[in-house]
């Protein structure tokens, strides 16, 4: 079964799922979603895919399979490029408030656990953001054999002529050349 998310692109109220009991699940289609990224990172396209929320004996297991594209630049020639990103994540969220009694749960017992909000909302956005950051390529290339930039003129080596006459060569390179032992 698919249904739109209620509160936000990656936020769901899971009260119903908590009430349904262990093993119950809901599937949500994600399309046209977006997310803020830190460090000058930028999405080049929307996030799409599917999120499945499943009631476990302790809380809610979120499984997501998402795709998007990241904007970036070629590590060699600095031309803009986009990198397809494929994200899979699986995280269990534990309640902050006991669903049966309405009493606060002892969160300090598991300080590292991901938590549902006091209103039984699951916010998957931080996990989605982390997963996208992890999937970011370290040194993307616009093509595998990108020759990079010309050391003399600074333009991409696969554009134009780079058979530079000597008088165009950077004087610093010329000075190095003069040190050759021959
Ligand atoms: Zn390149
Ligand atoms: Zn050149």
Which structure tokens are listed for 6? 């209620």
Greater model confidence, 179 or 128: 128
Nearest alpha carbon to residue 120 among 13, 28, 31: 13
Task: Name which of 4-18, 47-61, 92-106, 164-178 the model is least confident about.
Answer: 164-178
Beta bridge partner(s), residue 43: 70
Ligand closest to 153 (CA) is: 2
Token pair, residue 19, equals: 């009430």
pLDDT band at 41 (very low <50, low <70, confident <90, very high): confident
Distance 143 CA to ligand 1 centre (A): 6
SS (H, E, C) 25-41: EEEEEEEEECCCCCCCC
CA 11 from chain centre, in angstroms, equals 17
Which has the higher per-residue pLDDT, 39 or 54? 54
Ligand closest to Cα of 160 equals 2
pLDDT of 152 > 80? The answer is yes
- What pLDDT band is residue 23 in, cutting at 50, 70 and 90? very high
**Distance from the Cα of residue 171 to its chain's centroid:** 44
**How far apart (Å, rounded) are the C-alpha atoms in residues 126 and 61?**
15
Interval 93-113: pLDDT, tens: 999 999 889 899 999 999 999
Read off the pLDDT of each residue in 62-86 and give the average, rounded to a whole number: 95
CA 39–ligand 1 middle distance (angstroms): 22
Q: Are 79 and 73 in contact (CB under 8 A)?
A: yes
Q: Smallest Cα–Cα separation from 16: which of 53, 62, 42? A: 53
Q: Tell whether the model's pLDDT for residue 177 goes beyond 90.
A: no
pLDDT reported for residue 171: 61
Higher pLDDT among residues 129 and 175, named by residue = 129
As a whole number, the mean pLDDT across the chain is 88
Q: How far is the CA of 79 from the centre of ligand 1 (A)?
A: 6
Inter-residue contact 44 to 82 (CB < 8 Å): yes
Task: Report the pLDDT value the prediction gives residue 165, as an integer from 0 to 100.
Answer: 82
State how far the Cα of 130 lies from the Cα of 95, in Å rounded to an integer. 21
**144 alpha carbon – ligand 1 mean position (Å):** 8
Q: What are phi and psi of 67, to 5 degrees?
A: -130, 150
Residue 71 CA to ligand 2 center (angstroms) comes to 27
pTM: 0.78
């Amino acid at each position: 079964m698919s249904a739109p998310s209620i509160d936000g692109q990656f936020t769901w109220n899971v009260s119903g799922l908590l009430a349904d009991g262990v093993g119950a699940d809901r599937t949500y289609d994600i399309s046209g979603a977006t997310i803020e990224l830190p460090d000058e990172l930028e999405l080049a396209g929307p996030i799409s895919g599917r999120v499945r929320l499943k009631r476990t004996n302790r809380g809610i297991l979120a499984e997501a399979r998402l795709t998007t594209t990241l904007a970036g630049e070629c590590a060699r020639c600095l031309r803009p490029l986009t990198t397809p990103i494929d994200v899979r994540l699986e995280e269990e969220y534990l309640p902050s408030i006991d669903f049966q009694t309405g009493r606060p749960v002892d969160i300090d017992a598991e300080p590292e656990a991901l938590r549902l909000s006091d209103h039984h909302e699951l916010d998957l956005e931080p996990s989605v953001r982390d997963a996208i950051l992890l999937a970011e390529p370290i040194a993307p290339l616009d093509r595998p054999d990108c020759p990079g930039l010309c050391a003399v003129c600074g333009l991409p080596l696969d554009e134009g002529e780079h058979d530079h006459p000597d008088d165009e060569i950077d004087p610093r390179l010329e000075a190095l050349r003069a040190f050759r032992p021959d």
